């Protein structure tokens, strides 16, 4: 029941979790993960495939041969196996792929003959130069730089440069964590790994832009009041988009998890595990960073601006005054509540009207009295009360006040008794 109520509240967009207020905790979690990843970069490094380190690959069809047996035969023939043999395909198209270090022509022929004589299958040999992997890496780096520049320009135009900074921080966070997990697991780095890294950048950016759009919507007009800070508006936006982020991430992660755990783990299809792992880790890291990192970074930058720092002080003063039981108008100036039954007569500015509005943030509704309290009150001299029947037209400047003529006796009244006779 609790879980259902929680999801119901999240689906309705209520501020359930204080993501922004706990941002130091999320910073610490990300820092620990990044330190572990950096340590893996230094002490373990990466297991580069032959596309990056150079080498020779041997592949042949084998319906029943086991990868360990194939690897043992190749090593006996003098090959230095760089990565364990992998199964490619299934059923009638099942084959074994073996990657070894660089071999001369004689070494390649010797290993090829040993495999063909043992398994009675034609073996395909392919020599790969390390310069090919270098070209792929340089092209990927150029694509990454162009992508980041385009992202910065788009976010700066659509929102502002502070949101561009938050998005770039989240992107580098996702890249480092994905590469660190890849290094810890020890999977081979192939061109598919580079393609997967570029793919997760798009997903991370998509989720981040969705949250930023809601933050920008909630933050409009908050500088004119004292009810919520920029962090409060951003926290509500994260809560309002949380269910969407969870649903999108689950939909994206389920098929990738099938490739990783079922395809590579259960079925043993080794050629897709490098792409599946980088996608799985990158999608999960992208969902995490858009909620716990990108938006908090934007709040850190925004609340350093003088206008938002002043807004935070007004909000804090308002909450303190409300805790003391004082009446606080929307402008944030506190005043003591009047005694019950006491009449307060304060003329309002001419033409001013109080507009009742409903607050969409976490401080409750703004009633008409609070809105009217923001209007300046001008001291006006007390006007004399006109006598009944007196002229309501104001006299001209400098004119003497005219007295109303007294009615003549008998005139306009009832006729006298003599005239009636």
List the one residue out of 171, 233, 168, 226 whose CA is nearest residue 21: 233
Q: Say yes or no: 164 and 282 in one domain.
A: yes
Given a contact cutoff of 8 angstroms between Cβ atoms, the answer to whether 140 and 189 are in contact is no
CATH code for the domain of 160:
1.20.1640.10
More confident residue, 348 or 241: 241
- Partner residues linked to 100 by β-bridges: 56, 81
| Domain annotation covers residue 325 | no
Q: Say yes or no: 97 and 182 in one domain.
A: no
List the one residue out of 155, 211, 151, 203 whose CA is nearest residue 175: 203
Please provide the average confidence, as pLDDT, over all residues in the chain.
Answer: 75
Q: Say yes or no: 269 and 156 in one domain.
A: yes
Q: Say yes or no: 199 and 143 in one domain.
A: yes
| Domain annotation covers residue 145 | yes
| Reported confidence tier of residue 402, pLDDT bands at 50, 70, 90 | low
List the one residue out of 201, 199, 205, 287 whose CA is nearest residue 238: 287
Q: What is the pLDDT of residue 4?
A: 64
Q: Say yes or no: 162 and 277 in one domain.
A: yes
Strand locations in 191-320 (E): none
Q: Say yes or no: 143 and 232 in one domain.
A: yes
How many domains, in total, are found in the chain?
2
| Domain annotation covers residue 235 | yes
pTM of the model as a whole: 0.67
Q: Say yes or no: 282 and 139 in one domain.
A: yes
Q: Say yes or no: 137 and 253 in one domain.
A: yes
- Tell me the pLDDT tens digit for each residue of 61-119: 877 778 888 888 888 888 887 777 777 766 667 788 888 877 888 888 888 888 888 88
Phi, psi dihedrals of residue 47, rounded to the nearest 5°: -95, 90
Alpha-carbon distance of 412 to 389, in angstroms, equals 18
Single out the residue in 128, 146, 179 at which a domain terminates: 128
Helix ranges (DSSP H) in 327-378: 368-373
- Tell me the pLDDT tens digit for each residue of 183-230: 888 887 888 888 888 888 888 888 888 899 989 888 888 888 778 889
| Domain annotation covers residue 400 | no
Q: Say yes or no: 200 and 217 in one domain.
A: yes
Name the token pair of 63. Answer: 């319906």
Q: Say yes or no: 61 and 159 in one domain.
A: no
Alpha-carbon distance of 379 to 254, in angstroms, equals 68
Q: What is the pLDDT of residue 6?
A: 67
| Domain annotation covers residue 365 | no
| Domain annotation covers residue 5 | no
In three-state secondary structure terms, 224 is helix
Given a contact cutoff of 8 angstroms between Cβ atoms, the answer to whether 257 and 47 are in contact is no
List the one residue out of 411, 409, 404, 375 whose CA is nearest residue 387: 404
| Domain annotation covers residue 337 | no
Phi, psi dihedrals of residue 364, rounded to the nearest 5°: 90, 180
| Reported confidence tier of residue 32, pLDDT bands at 50, 70, 90 | very high
- Tell me the pLDDT tens digit for each residue of 126-156: 887 767 777 777 887 888 888 888 888 888 8
Q: Say yes or no: 240 and 266 in one domain.
A: yes
Single out the residue in 287, 302, 317 at which a domain terminates: 302
Sorted by sequence, the CB contacts under 8 Å of residue 81 that are 6+ apart come out as 71, 74, 75, 98, 99, 100
Q: What is the pLDDT of residue 36?
A: 94
- Tell me the pLDDT tens digit for each residue of 317-366: 888 888 877 765 555 555 555 544 444 444 444 333 333 333 334 444 33
HSE-up of residue 194 (Cα within 13 Å, Cβ side)? 18
Q: What is the pLDDT of residue 197?
A: 83
| Domain annotation covers residue 395 | no
- Tell me the pLDDT tens digit for each residue of 14-26: 657 888 888 899 9
Domain extent for 32: 17-47+132-302
49-58, 213-222, 300-309, 324-333: range with lowest mean pLDDT? 324-333
CATH code for the domain of 84:
3.30.70.260
What is the average per-residue pLDDT within 47-59?
A: 80
Q: Say yes or no: 120 and 193 in one domain.
A: no
Single out the residue in 302, 320, 339 at which a domain terminates: 302
């Amino acid at each position: 029941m609790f879980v259902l109520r929680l999801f119901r509240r999240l689906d309705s967009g209520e501020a359930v979790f204080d993501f922004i207020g706990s941002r130091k905790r999320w910073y610490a979690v990300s820092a620990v993960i990044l330190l572990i990843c950096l340590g893996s970069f230094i002490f373990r490094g990466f297991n580069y495939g032959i596309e990056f380190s150079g080498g020779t690959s041997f592949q042949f069809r084998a319906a029943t041969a086991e990868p360990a047996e194939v690897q043992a035969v190749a090593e006996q023939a003098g090959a230095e196996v760089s990565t364990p043999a992998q199964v490619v395909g299934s059923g009638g198209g099942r084959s074994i792929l073996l990657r070894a270090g660089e071999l001369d022509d004689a070494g390649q022929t010797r290993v090829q003959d040993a495999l063909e004589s043992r398994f009675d299958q034609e073996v395909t040999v392919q020599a790969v130069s390390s310069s090919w992997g270098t070209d792929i890496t340089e092209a990927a780096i150029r694509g990454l730089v162009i992508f980041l520049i385009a992202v910065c320009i788009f976010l700066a135009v659509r929102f502002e440069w502070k949101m561009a900074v938050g998005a770039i921080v989240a992107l580098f966070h996702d890249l480092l964590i994905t590469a660190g997990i890849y290094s810890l697991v020890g999977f081979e780095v192939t061109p598919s790994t580079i393609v997967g890294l570029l793919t997760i950048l798009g997903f991370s950016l998509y989720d981040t832009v969705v949250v930023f759009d809601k933050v920008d919507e909630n933050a409009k007009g908050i500088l004119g009041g004292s009810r919520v800070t920029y962090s409060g508006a951003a926290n509500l936006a994260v809560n309002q988009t949380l269910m969407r982020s969870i649903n999108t991430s689950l939909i994206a992660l389920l098929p990738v998890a099938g490739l990783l755990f079922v395809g590579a783990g259960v079925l043993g299809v080794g050629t897709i595990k490098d792409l599946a792992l980088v996608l799985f880790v990158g999608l999960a890291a992208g969902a995490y960073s858009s909620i716990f990192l990108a938006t908090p970074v934007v709040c850190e930058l925004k609340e350093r601006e003088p206008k938002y720092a002043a807004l935070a002080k007004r909000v804090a003063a308002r909450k303190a005054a409300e805790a003391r039981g004082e009446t606080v108008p929307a402008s944030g100036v506190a005043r003591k509540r009047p005694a019950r039954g006491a009449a307060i007569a304060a003329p309002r500015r001419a033409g001013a009207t109080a507009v009742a509005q409903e607050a969409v943030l976490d401080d409750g509704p703004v009633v008409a009295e609070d809105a009217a309290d923001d209007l300046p009150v001008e001291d006006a001299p007390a006007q004399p009360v006109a006598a009944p029947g007196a002229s309501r037209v104001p006299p001209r400047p400098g004119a003497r006040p005219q007295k109303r003529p007294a009615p003549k006796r008998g005139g306009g009244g009832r006729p006298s008794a003599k005239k009636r006779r």
